[in-house]
Amino acid sequence: MTAVALVLALTAPVLGSGPDLTTPPLEAPVIVELRPVAPPRTPPPTPVTPVQVPTEAAFSVEIAASAVQPKPPSPVVVQQPVARVADHADAIARARSAPNGQLPRDALCPIWDGTLFRCDMAAALESAAAAGMPRVNMTDGYRSYDQQVSVKASRGSWAAQPGTSNHGYGTAADIPEPARSWLFRHGADHGLINPAWAKTEKHEPWHWELAN
Ligand SMILES: [Zn+2]
């Protein structure tokens, strides 16, 4: 009998709250009225997004365009300037496996003046510059096969047969003074040499290569 009393006692409050439930429904409409107000706030961010889309699209177009122009004079570089040769191991390997004058441009590294080289050559030049070699503008760095053809046409016997120049491997630099004189004293310390042929058969004191 006592249990029944308790059940009734518990049921009573529930039933009693019945009438109270009538109140919330009245508040519900208020919430519904607030929701319509929210939508107007959402649109503002939406217009902002369309503005960003064209910008990203523009960048994509630039990237796409730059990726398609490996031959134009203006160098398109994907590799970052050399900080550590180890960071460019993959790029160096790709450049080593490519035919003379056909190195992937995105496998090349720029030095201070933007001239491109195989990344270990760029690192050797940066190493020399960091040790005191004047940061002059290079006369020449990597040469594509087409560039070697035009150089051969303009310089004749002074230029290598197209497809054989170390410039085509990205490991040669034509360096003006005063950097050149500095290299004759310290170049070997940075793996840079003025090869024997450049001292004898052809006197090219400006031509420096990676030693190995
Ligand atoms: Zn040269």
Query: Residue 117 pLDDT > 90, yes or no?
Result: yes
Distance 206 CA to ligand 1 centre (A): 7
Distance 114 CA to ligand 1 centre (A): 17
Distance 178 CA to ligand 1 centre (A): 16
Residues 86 and 183 in one domain: yes
Distance 69 CA to ligand 1 centre (A): 25
Residue 86 has a pLDDT of: 85
Is 72 or 195 the better-scoring residue by pLDDT? 195
**pTM exceeds 0.75, yes or no:** no
CATH number, domain at 101? Answer: 3.30.1380.10
The rounded radius of gyration (Å) of the Cα atoms in the chain is: 36
Distance 45 CA to ligand 1 centre (A): 57
Distance 118 CA to ligand 1 centre (A): 14
pLDDT tens digits for range 141-150: 999 999 999 9
Residue 78 has a pLDDT of: 55
Residue 34 has a pLDDT of: 47
Query: Residue 206 pLDDT > 90, yes or no?
Result: yes
Distance 130 CA to ligand 1 centre (A): 22
pLDDT tens digits for range 172-186: 999 999 999 999 999
Percent of the chain with pLDDT over 90: 52
Query: Residue 207 pLDDT > 60, yes or no?
Result: yes
In terms of DSSP bridges, do strands 207-210 and 172-174 run parallel, antiparallel, or are they unpaired?
antiparallel
DSSP 9: H
Residues 95 and 183 in one domain: yes
Residue 80 has a pLDDT of: 77
Distance 88 CA to ligand 1 centre (A): 24
Which residue's entry shows tokens 């096969």? Answer: 145
DSSP assignment string, 96-152:
HTSPTT---GGGEEE-TTS-EEEHHHHHHHHHHHHTT---PPPSB----HHHHHHHH
Domain tally for the chain? 2
pLDDT, mean of residues 143-161: 90
pLDDT tens digits for range 42-92: 455 544 444 443 344 443 333 344 444 444 555 565 577 777 888 899 999
Which residue's entry shows tokens 């049921």? Answer: 11
Residues 28 and 102 in one domain: no
Domain end residue (candidates: 66, 95, 122) = 66
Residues 90 and 163 in one domain: yes
Residue 156 has a pLDDT of: 86
Q: For residues 197 and 9, what is the distance between their CA atoms, to the nearest angstrom?
A: 111
pLDDT tens digits for range 4-20: 444 444 444 444 444 44
Distance 52 CA to ligand 1 centre (A): 47
Residues 89 and 191 in one domain: yes
pLDDT, mean of residues 108-120: 95
Residue 16 has a pLDDT of: 42
The range of the structural domain enclosing residue 51 comes to 2-66
**Torsion, Cα of 57, 62, 64, 66 (10° steps):** -170
Distance 49 CA to ligand 1 centre (A): 51
Distance 151 CA to ligand 1 centre (A): 10
Distance 146 CA to ligand 1 centre (A): 16
Which residue's entry shows tokens 């960071």? Answer: 87
Residues 40 and 90 in one domain: no
| Element containing residue 187 per DSSP (H, E) | none
Residue 149 has a pLDDT of: 94
The mean predicted confidence, pLDDT, of the chain is: 76
